[in-house]
């Protein structure tokens, strides 16, 4: 079960989308990243297991769901800020 969780987290983290600002302004993109990270953390916090060394069987799906929800809110926010996918 622990191996499945680690593989799932690595897979979900490799699916991170790279964005670019339409205007080409990198400082605006950095500002948007910080804002969207904070928003995603507030709206969809990532669930941590009760035991930091091992997740219980009932927590595995909760962890995977919280990571994907967090990434979804981040991507949605970046699109709403006017950024596009590289």
Q: Which pLDDT score, from 0 to 100, does residue 57 have?
A: 87
CA dist 71 and 64 (Å) reads 11
Query: Average pLDDT of the chain?
Result: 85
Residue 78 has pLDDT above 70, yes or no: yes
Structure tokens at 55: 């997740």
**Cross-strand partners of 21:** 83
The reported pTM is 0.75
pLDDT digits (tens, 9 = 90+) for 7-47: 666 666 656 678 888 887 778 889 999 999 999 999 999 99
Nearest CA-CA partner of 2 in 51, 47, 65:
51
DSSP string computed for 12-35? HHHTPPPEEETT--HHHHHHHHHH
How many domains does the chain fold into? 1
Distance of CA 14 to the CA centre of its chain: 10
Q: Print the domain residue range for 36.
A: 2-85
Q: Which helix (H) or strand (E) holds 85?
A: strand 83-85
85 phi, psi to nearest 5 deg: -80, 140
Q: What is the average pLDDT across 45-57?
A: 88
């Amino acid at each position: 079960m622990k191996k499945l969780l680690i593989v799932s987290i690595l897979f979900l983290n490799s699916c991170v989308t790279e964005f670019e600002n339409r205007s080409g302004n990198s400082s605006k993109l950095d500002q948007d990243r910080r804002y969207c990270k904070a928003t995603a953390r507030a709206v969809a916090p990532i669930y941590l297991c009760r035991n930091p060394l091992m997740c219980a069987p009932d927590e595995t799906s909760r962890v995977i769901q919280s990571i994907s929800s967090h990434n979804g809110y981040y991507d949605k926010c970046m699109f709403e800020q006017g950024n596009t996918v590289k």
